[in-house]
Amino acid sequence: MTEPLRLSKRMSELGLCSRREADEWIAQGWVRVDGVVVSELGSKVLPHQKITVERQASAQQAKRVTVLINKPMGFVSGQAEDGYKPAVTLITPEARWKEDKAPIQFHPSQLRSLVPAGRLDIDSVGLLVLTQDGRIAKQLIGEDTAIEKEYLVRVKYGKPGRLPDADLRLLNHGLSLDGKKLLPAKVQWQNEDQLRFVLKEGKKRQIRRMCEAVGLKVLGLKRVRIGNVKLGDLPTGQWRYLRADERF
């Protein structure tokens, strides 16, 4: 027998929404299983059962925004901490990039439930995604995500000469953090003091710790791409909406 799953978990697996959204929709009576409305939280379904959502749920989801920020140094990605401001405070009408072509009007309600989909630490800059859409959050930070993140990293080698090729190969594959092997990465020199990292995972301070492991000190770290979405010419401290035609 196939085991029943929580309805909200199954909806998330199917890419319909996040679990939190699923619970909201179930409570509103917007979810049907095999054509029958299911409004009890914690309800379970079998994998073969057909799940559909009412138009109101799709309409609500369509209004959810995703924002791209060029995060400056000194801002935290999520909740305020140690006196540092969260990046969401940068999202004001004045700081919206003049070149933003998205036909969306800013409204303060868009700041509600706007969460970072992947973090940048306080000393790092570049592309940060904040979203109200649980599907995008799951796509970017879910356990099985395979979306690439690209960084430009300025480094200084702590020993005489240059970083040995063997250590560069280690950065590409062979290092472990917290007792767990890292996934293969793409790491190559851009110029004399700058490396380009492309990762498919994002452990806490991963790049800085990888560099430390081979004797490199990180002097600057900038994220320039997530999947197919690039930072491009977005100025530091400014933001724009993810366009309808853009996909990570």
Active site residues per annotation: 121
For β-strands 216-226 and 125-131, DSSP reports them as: parallel
Nearest to 87 by CA among 105, 103, 101, 68: 68
Nearest-10 Cα torsion for 206, 211, 217, 221: -50
Distance (Å, rounded) from C-alpha 216 to C-alpha 81?
28
Q: How many CB atoms lie within 10 A of CB 160?
A: 5
Contact 130, 117 (CB under 8 A): yes
